[in-house]
Amino acid sequence: MDNNMKKKSGLSLVTRLSNGILSLFTNITLLIFSLSCIFPLIWMFYSSLKEKREFNADIMSLPKSPSFSNYIAILTNKDYRIFESMFNSLRTTVITVTLIVVLGFIVGYILARIKFRGNALLNIMFLMGLLIPIHSLLVPIYVVFNNTGLGNQWFTLIIPYVAFGLPIAIFLVQGFVKAIPIAMEEAAAIDGSSFTRTLFGIIMPICKPILSTVAIVQVFSTWNEFSFALVLMKDRRLWTVPLAMTQFTGQFSSDYTKIMAAMLITMLPVIVFYFIFSKQIIRGMVAGAVKG
Amino acid sequence: MLSSIRPKNRVIYAYLLFPVALYVFSVFLPLLTAGYYSLFEWKGGPSKTFIGLENYLGLLNDSLFWESFSHNIYLVIACIIGQVGIAFIFVMMLSSNLVKLKGIHRTFGFFPSTVSAVSIGFIWTMVYDYRRGILNWFLELIGKGDAAKVWLNEPTLVMLLISIPLIWQFIGYYMVILLSATTSIDKEIIESSQIDGASAFQRAIHIVLPLIKNTLLVCITLCVAGNMKAFDHIYVMTKGGPGTSSMVMALYGYTVSFNQQNMGYGSAISIGIFVISLLVIGGAQLLVKTLTREKGEKA
């Protein structure tokens, strides 16, 4: 501390000046970036309170007489299917994430702890899942689902979403379980706990940190997934939010304020979720990315 | 052995049956199916004709496919430089003592990466819109109104204009990943280099960079994989147009299969995408690994 102070007072005017400029420059650069990340939301919000004509006249000005007419128009018209699509997304996301967490945990634990015939094979198979370029399955998966009649059902999307989420979940759980001392299970076994009870009653609670990481990553990727939904879902009543939104923007391509209102309504759950839990979400996403 | 540590095989297989079946059904079965149908001329209807490897020969000579591939590579390079590069610079800025509001930068900067590609695509369509776009509004504001364009209709500009939202969306994501790596660096190393008189730039290149090279490798791999599968943003913004100026591989496979109903050829394209993506992602990993190793040995 003392050393630092001495150093600072010893700095010449030129150095201090250039430090000041540097500080100003870095702060402004980062501020511009951060604002650009949040500005679309703000702009979309106040613009959605304008009438179409007012927006077309000046896209940047604040609304002269803010009104929720766009919102009312969207929410009262069932043909727009806003709530329907949000319900579909919510159902798909909740079931998908739950399945990924539970199945990922089970498979990850078994592969990490138990020797059995096929362990190595399964391990390789799921590791391959981390490498396989999933997007190349876009067309083939349509063919398979179409041939088996599994396409276009309310549960259709859950199948590939769970399958695509499993490898990373298994991988993360495996790494975590290997660090748990085996004495844990031995003690449980001596107490007479069955395999299933040990698995869910003792190991699963210990794995909570890694399981919440898995869940966080999957919530966003499932809620936002677009391309497989586009290929697999033809029935409009079953569309998820991203699909419904592309349809909506096509239908109202000239009515931007209405589109903005619809965008904000459908983004609201994610926005609220993000800004309440941003710390945990950021931590979870980073852990998921780096360890994966 | 105690039965609860080593359950019966029956129990293990019962637990594994459902997840493994689901996984094989969604990942391996489609690949096999695609391999099978790629050998046929098949327009999606009931009739199909076996044509052997003709689809693959067609693919090798399909200039549109290779153009799409080159656009994927363009995005990969643009995003490695843009996303990881800018993120690294921002991290260097953030870890200096000069910056205020670090928490805000993290929270706001990360936010776009949690938004769906459809929303991001729509927002940027509005930026580039002709009559009501932010870009043209800005040009007007600074008195360059005559430079206004229907931006996404410019074949020579469209790839650049598409890569900007992609880059912008994930800078914060990589920034946060790199930030977590730099904060785990021992403070003493940084301080002693400061005392030795290393400039901020020297510190970044010679001290921080080598110490976070593994994380950097992860970021670059993520970046490569992410851009080989580019689809959503482009589907929303241009659908590959104007013409084919912004066509990428996944979108090309989609267009051939669903708009032209050419499922046989579409399957061959899928296998092509599979092989090429695997090669590029694997190649990039290998390249970065050898590069970082050499650097490490020299230092």
Q: What is the pLDDT of residues A213-262, one digit of tens each?
A: 999 989 999 999 999 999 999 988 999 999 999 988 888 777 888 899 99
* Helix locations, chain B, DSSP H: 9-23, 29-37, 54-60, 63-79, 86-94, 102-110, 117-128, 134-141, 158-183, 187-195, 200-202, 209-211, 213-228, 232-237, 249-254, 263-298
In chain B, residues with a C-beta closer than 8 Å to the C-beta of A213 are none
Chain B interface includes A77 (CB < 8 A): no
Q: Could you report the per-residue pLDDT of B118-151, keeping only the tens digit for each? A: 999 999 998 998 888 888 888 888 888 788 888 8
Q: Look up the domain containing B257 and give its range.
A: 53-298
Integer Cα distance of A234 and A257 in angstroms = 27
Q: Which of A7-16, A105-114, B39-48 reaches the highest mean pLDDT?
A: A105-114
- Lowest mean pLDDT segment, chosen from A145-159, A252-266, B2-16: B2-16
Domain total for chain B? 1
Say whether the peptide bond before residue B19 is cis (omega within 30 degrees of 0): no
pLDDT of residue A10: 56
- Lowest mean pLDDT segment, chosen from A267-281, B39-53, B221-235: B39-53
Percent of residues, chain B, with pLDDT higher than 90: 53
Shortest alpha-carbon distance between residue B253 and chain A (Å): 7
The residues facing B42 across adjacent strands are B48
Residue A62 DSSP label: P
pLDDT of residue B164: 95
Residue in A126, A249, A270 nearest the CB of B122: A249
- Within a domain: residue B13? no
pLDDT of residue B128: 92
Q: How many CB atoms lie within 10 A of CB B52?
A: 9
In chain A, residues with a C-beta closer than 8 Å to the C-beta of B136 are none
Put simply, the chain B residues between 260 and 289 with a CB less than 8 A from any chain A CB are 263, 266-267, 269-271, 273-274, 277-278, 281-282
Integer Cα distance of B111 and B226 in angstroms = 18
Integer Cα distance of A190 and B70 in angstroms = 61
Question: Chain B interface, mutation test: which of A3, A8, A25, A139, most B Cβ atoms within 10 Å?
Answer: A139
Residue in B19, B110, B271 nearest the CB of A106: B19
Rounded to a whole number of angstroms, the CA Rg of chain B reads 24
In chain B, residues with a C-beta closer than 8 Å to the C-beta of A278 are 107, 110-111
For the cut 50, the answer to whether the pLDDT of residue A197 exceeds it is yes
pLDDT band per the 50, 70, 90 thresholds, residue A76: confident
Higher pLDDT: B100 or A156? It is: A156
Chain B interface includes A133 (CB < 8 A): yes
Task: Please answer whether residues A50 and A43 qualify as being in contact, where contact means their C-beta atoms are separated by less than 8 angstroms.
Answer: no
Percent of residues, chain B, with pLDDT higher than 70: 96
- Within a domain: residue B18? no
Shortest alpha-carbon distance between residue A85 and chain B (Å): 14
- Within a domain: residue B100? yes
Q: What is the mean pLDDT of residues A192-201?
A: 89
- Residue B201 sits in a domain of what CATH number? 1.10.3720.10
For the cut 90, the answer to whether the pLDDT of residue B36 exceeds it is yes
Chain B interface includes A18 (CB < 8 A): no
- Within a domain: residue B41? no
Cβ separation of A56 and B132 shorter than 8 Å?
Answer: yes
For the cut 50, the answer to whether the pLDDT of residue B298 exceeds it is no
Chain A interface includes B83 (CB < 8 A): no
> What is the value of ipTM here, to two decimals?
0.88
- Within a domain: residue B112? yes
The upper half-sphere exposure of residue A238, i.e. CA atoms within 13 Å in the direction of its Cβ, equals 16
The class that CATH gives domain A80-291 is mainly alpha
Give chain A's mean pLDDT: 88
Phi, psi (deg, nearest 5) at residue B41? -90, 115
Residue in A142, A185, A286 nearest the CB of B4: A185
Integer Cα distance of B100 and B117 in angstroms = 30
pLDDT band per the 50, 70, 90 thresholds, residue B294: low
Higher pLDDT: B28 or B47? It is: B28
Integer Cα distance of B246 and B72 in angstroms = 9
For residue B11 the two structure tokens come to: 């129990």
pLDDT of residue A5: 47
Shortest alpha-carbon distance between residue A56 and chain B (Å): 6
Q: How many CB atoms lie within 10 A of CB A59?
A: 20
pLDDT of residue B290: 81
Q: How many CB atoms lie within 10 A of CB A64?
A: 11
pLDDT band per the 50, 70, 90 thresholds, residue A6: very low
pTM equals: 0.89
Cβ separation of B114 and A281 shorter than 8 Å?
Answer: yes
Put simply, the chain A residues between 57 and 76 with a CB less than 8 A from any chain B CB are 59-60
Closest CA to A69 of A54, A90, A48, A85: A48
Buried b (16+ CB within 10 A) or exposed e, B152-191: beeeeebbebbbebbbbbbbbbbbbbbbbbbeeeeeeebe
In chain A, residues with a C-beta closer than 8 Å to the C-beta of B168 are 36-37
In chain A, which residues fall in CATH 1.10.3720.10?
80-291
Percent of residues, chain A, with pLDDT higher than 70: 96
User: In terms of CA atoms, which chain B residue is nearest residue A130?
Assistant: B225
Q: What is the mean pLDDT of residues A161-167?
A: 95
CB–CB contacts below 8 A, A to B: 266
For the cut 80, the answer to whether the pLDDT of residue A93 exceeds it is yes
pLDDT of residue A43: 92
Q: Could you report the per-residue pLDDT of B211-239, keeping only the tens digit for each? A: 888 888 889 888 998 899 899 999 999 99
- Within a domain: residue B204? yes
Q: What is the mean pLDDT of residues A75-93?
A: 90
Put simply, the chain A residues between 88 and 117 with a CB less than 8 A from any chain B CB are 103-104, 106-107, 110, 114-117
pLDDT band per the 50, 70, 90 thresholds, residue B295: low
Residue in A59, A231, A290 nearest the CB of B137: A59
For the cut 80, the answer to whether the pLDDT of residue B289 exceeds it is no
Chain B interface includes A136 (CB < 8 A): yes
pLDDT of residue A2: 47
For the cut 60, the answer to whether the pLDDT of residue A1 exceeds it is no
